[in-house]
């Protein structure tokens, strides 16, 4: 018998349709098996598809499972905000008027509803590990010679998902970088990282404070992610741990631009509240209907 399950496809970290990072959301996922969830994620062929389930933790509003075409993730940023947007659009009411609590693989993640039209998630705790210097030649081969090893050495930041963060010398270097697929795949394996994030500081008069790009190697292909919540959360934790090396004022807030090289218009807002980073942005819905399963 065919079942109808509510389904949305939303664009995350943008207020302009087709300019952010797309996400598929299955709102009525209760009763779906893990193989079914994985099959749906392969079918949508987006970076992530989320499945909303009743919470098992009494403090949470719902439970979220996040699947890429290749497997399940314990946490990811744009799926967190995109799913919250989709749920609120259905009329879902969280237990607290100003905050939604998502249960996922890294535990409970708080999502602020305080700013109208914007959502922001509290960045999970992170472990920061320096990259072994013996990997630097491979890193230079994978990324290019514009890496700023001396100023801010490359690190792996583990937030359930593990990003290799590499600072480059300029925004131009960031935007023109073309990582070598094979070298990057080898580097990520050695660093036990899921992907690579390049970042650079904009000039004070620029369109944002930082430019970032995020890359993964999936099924032997180099893939650039348009706008990446978890990478931005990892960067926020890193900058905080470094004492905000570019400008102490960033301890309050800063802005990130991502997706430029893909002709996207990703905008991410970082705000530190009581010393804790919150990663925020807007979302828009492009598809609203049902899956026939």
C-beta atoms surrounding 241 within 10 Å:
12
> Could you check whether 4-122+281-292 and 127-262 share the same CATH topology?
yes
| CA distances to 41, 83, 103 from 64, in Å | 14, 8, 6
pLDDT of 211: 97
pLDDT of 149: 66
Q: Residues with catalytic annotation?
A: 48
CA-CA-CA-CA torsion for 154, 129, 280, 57, nearest 10 degrees? 160
Provide the residue ranges of all domains of the chain, joining segments of one domain with +.
4-122+281-292, 127-262
CATH 3.10.310.10 holds for 4-122+281-292: yes
What confidence tens digit (pLDDT) does each residue in 213-235 have?
999 998 899 999 999 999 999 99
pLDDT of 1: 66
CATH fold of the domain at 127-262: Diaminopimelate Epimerase; Chain A, domain 1 (3.10.310)
What b/e string do you get for 69-105 counting C-beta neighbours within 10 Å, with b at 16 or more? Answer: beeebebbbbbbbbbbbbbbeeeeebeeeeebbbbbb
Q: How confident is the model at residue 2 (pLDDT cuts 50, 70, 90)?
A: confident
What confidence tens digit (pLDDT) does each residue in 121-169 have?
999 999 999 999 999 999 999 997 666 666 789 999 999 999 999 999 8
- What's the rounded Cα separation, in Å, for the pair 77 and 272? 17
């Amino acid at each position: 018998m065919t079942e109808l399950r509510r389904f949305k496809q939303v664009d995350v970290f943008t207020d302009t349709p087709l300019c952010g990072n797309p996400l598929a959301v299955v709102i009525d996922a209760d009763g779906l098996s893990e193989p079914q969830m994985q099959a749906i994620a392969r079918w949508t062929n987006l970076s992530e598809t989320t499945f909303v389930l009743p919470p098992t933790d009494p403090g949470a509003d719902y439970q979220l499972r996040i699947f890429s075409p290749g497997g399940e993730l314990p946490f990811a940023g744009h799926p967190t905000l995109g799913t919250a947007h989709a749920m609120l659009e259905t009329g879902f009411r969280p237990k607290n008027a100003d905050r939604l609590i998502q249960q996922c693989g890294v535990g409970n993640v708080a999502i602020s509803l305080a700013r109208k039209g914007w959502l922001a998630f509290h960045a999970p705790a992170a472990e920061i590990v320096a990259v072994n210097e013996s990997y630097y030649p491979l890193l230079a081969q994978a990324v290019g010679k514009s890496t700023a090893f001396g100023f801010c050495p490359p690190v792996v930041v583990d937030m359930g998902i593990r990003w290799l963060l590499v600072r480059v010398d300029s925004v131009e270097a960031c935007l023109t970088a073309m990582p070598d697929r094979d070298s990057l795949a080898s580097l990520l394996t050695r660093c036990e990282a899921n992907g690579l994030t390049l970042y650079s500081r904009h000039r004070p008069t620029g369109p944002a404070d930082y430019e970032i790009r995020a890359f993964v190697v999936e099924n032997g292909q180099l893939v650039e992610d348009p706008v990446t919540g978890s990478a931005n959360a990892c960067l926020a934790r890193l900058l905080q741990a470094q004492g905000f090396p570019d400008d102490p004022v960033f301890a309050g807030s800063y802005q990130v631009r991502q997706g430029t090289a893909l002709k996207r218009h990703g905008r991410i807002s970082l705000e530190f509240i009581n010393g804790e980073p919150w990663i925020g942005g807007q979302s828009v819905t492009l598809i609203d209907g049902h899956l026939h399963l």
